Amino acid sequence: MSRPLALLDSASLYFRSYYALPDSMTAPDGTPVNAVRGFADTIARILTERRPSRLVACLDADWRPAFRVRALPSYKAHRVADPVNNVEEVPDTLTPQVPIILDLLDAVGLATAEAPGYEADDVIGTLAHRESVDPVEVVSGDRDLFQVVRDEPTPVSVIYVGRGWARAEQLGPRELAAKYDLPVDNSGPAYADMALLRGDPSDGLPGVTGVGEKTAAKLITRFGSLDGLLAAAAAGDKLVPLRVKTALKDAADYVSVAPLVVRVALDAAVTVDRSDAVPTEPRDLDRVRALQEKWDLGASVDRLLAALTAAHA
């Protein structure tokens, strides 16, 4: 099998780095650089341990897309810091680190990608959906991306780092099905349908009252999909418990719009800023070293540079 295309859920990874490392890690001017260092170290580990031939750091062009908010106004509403400009609430000491991360990626020569009006999840979903050559490994701490796993035409799996890199799990269709008791043949889409029913307060998704994760998984497995469940409920199928029929009826407005909110886009207009091939050497070593010195990034940059070589070994 060919070496994988790694798709990085960048915000998920640098947020994790920010909270995992102390903000006492600072540049000479006092700017915290814990997220920058942690993100650089994460990419170094991906390159050395997963050895992708291609890598794309996927970005949010819009963290709370208008089409999702129109469908469900509660979507991520509790995380809005500035409603007028739709600005996300982000720790003050993380915000200035994001441009440094992007500068470092550019200097090293690693590809980034985004799509106007879409989230990084949609960029990942679209790039994974398009891929017809290499296996895909999505690296994220966000369970929402479990829905992209597949076997054909090329395998797509998720390297889930929600509990840290040391406890990372690689989930393909079979592993996902086993973990959540979902059907193997469509475990990715089934996960999205299960998540829709379950809801997610962290994203402002209310879910269907009284339908938790285990019940949602059983229902989706029994009826194959959300559409199958809704059709069975509408037809009065006795295999749909009365309380579930009532709950689905009560949540009909939510259920009708939630697929647009929960499911990642597969057709976003993604722009990748350069070749996604992992370079054998940094694009601009002098600039990398200048960034390393200016922001006191130390051994994290050294490890990232060494990982470029290791990825091609």
pLDDT in tens, 106-118: 999 999 999 999 9
Segment 251-304, tens digit of pLDDT? 999 999 999 999 999 999 999 999 999 999 999 999 999 999 999 999 999 999
Look at residue 84 in the predicted model and tell me its pLDDT: 65
- Residue with more model confidence, 89 or 20: 20
Segment 158-214, tens digit of pLDDT? 999 998 888 999 999 999 999 999 999 999 999 999 999 999 998 999 999 999 999
Look at residue 35 in the predicted model and tell me its pLDDT: 97
The band of 81, judged by pLDDT with boundaries at 50, 70 and 90, is low
Per the prediction, the chain carries an average pLDDT of 95
Beta partners for 57? 8, 112
Report domain extents, the chain.
5-173+265-311
Average pLDDT of the segment spanning 305-310: 92
The band of 83, judged by pLDDT with boundaries at 50, 70 and 90, is confident
Residues of the chain with pLDDT > 90: what percent?
90
Look at residue 2 in the predicted model and tell me its pLDDT: 87
CB 35 within 8 A of CB 17: yes
Length of the chain: 313
- 241-247: list long-range contacts, CB under 8 Å, 24+ apart: 243/210, 244/208, 244/210, 244/211, 244/215, 244/219, 247/208, 247/209, 247/210, 247/211
Rounded to whole angstroms, the Cα distance separating 288 from 301 reads 8
The band of 87, judged by pLDDT with boundaries at 50, 70 and 90, is low
CB 123 within 8 A of CB 268: yes
Report in angstroms the alpha-carbon separations of 17 from 28, 117, 280: 20, 26, 25
The band of 136, judged by pLDDT with boundaries at 50, 70 and 90, is very high
The band of 312, judged by pLDDT with boundaries at 50, 70 and 90, is confident
Rounded to whole angstroms, the Cα distance separating 257 from 129 reads 23
Look at residue 1 in the predicted model and tell me its pLDDT: 65
Contacts of 90 (CB under 8 A, 6+ apart): 81
Average pLDDT of the segment spanning 26-46: 97
Rounded to whole angstroms, the Cα distance separating 178 from 160 reads 15
Query: What pTM did the predictor assign?
Result: 0.95
Q: Which of 107, 154, 116, 117 is nearest to 7 (CA)?
A: 154
Rounded to whole angstroms, the Cα distance separating 59 from 87 reads 15
Q: What is the CATH number of domain 5-173+265-311?
A: 3.40.50.1010
Look at residue 126 in the predicted model and tell me its pLDDT: 98
Average pLDDT of the segment spanning 25-54: 96
Look at residue 310 in the predicted model and tell me its pLDDT: 81
CB 40 within 8 A of CB 304: yes
